[in-house]
Amino acid sequence: MISVVIPTLNAERKLPRCFDSLITAAVRGVVREVIVADGGSADETLIIADAAGAHIEHAAKSRSARFIAGAAAARGDWLLFLHPETAMEPGWENEVESFIAQAIPERPRAAVFRFALEDFGGEARRAEAKAALRGWALALPYGDQGLLIPRRLYNKLGGYRALAGMEDADLVRRIGRRRLVHLRARAVNLPRPQESVWRGLWLSLLHALRVPTRVVARL
């Protein structure tokens, strides 16, 4: 049903947590395969991926190149793009099954998950609130919220483009607000510096104002 694509680059500390969150969905047959698209890791990322039974694709270093390579190797009718620092919360597969079951082929839609941080401080809650605001106001979810998209729609849009950055926002912009569903299940991420959250918000605003993606990526 679903091919999970994970772009990696020296992700040995993050990857096991991501893999663990996919086990139940794999047992139930919701996840058909997991593809690790690697940009040349020098640590034990590939050893971990191989031990977990993931299919490994070698790609160029940029994340967009890794996404493109992983999607090209995928065999499922649905693609789920996950960052290695992202772990799906328990039970996420239930909502995804319902979403896919209700899908209308003539009106394909993609979906993202709620952004959450594996942190119990107030800053984490505020960062989650900012992510929710960004998604509602700008229709630009973070890449680490995951992206579930039918292959048919992915191919129609031309998939990920070879960009130096902001490749997630670029694809979401082409999907469009009306074809993007915000699911209730959470994509739980490792804590990150507060300045990166604010930087992401400002870059997203520029992207929403139709500043060319290549310009935003350079910024």
Q: Work out the mean pLDDT of the chain and round it to a whole number.
A: 90
Query: What pLDDT, in 10s, does the model give residues 36-81?
Result: 999 999 999 999 999 999 999 999 999 999 999 999 999 999 999 9
Q: How far apart are CA 19 and CA 8, in angstroms?
A: 12
| pLDDT score, position 212 | 66
Domain borders along the chain are: 2-218
- DSSP secondary structure letter of residue 139: S
pLDDT, tens digit, for every residue of 164-210? Answer: 888 999 999 999 999 999 999 999 999 865 545 555 556 656 656 66
Mention the CATH class of domain 2-218. Answer: alpha beta
* Radius of gyration of the chain, Cα coordinates, nearest whole angstrom: 16
What is the end-to-end Cα distance of the chain in Å, rounded? Answer: 38
Query: Any bridge partners for residue 5, and if so which?
Result: 35, 81
Q: Closest Cα to residue 174, out of 161, 160, 157?
A: 157
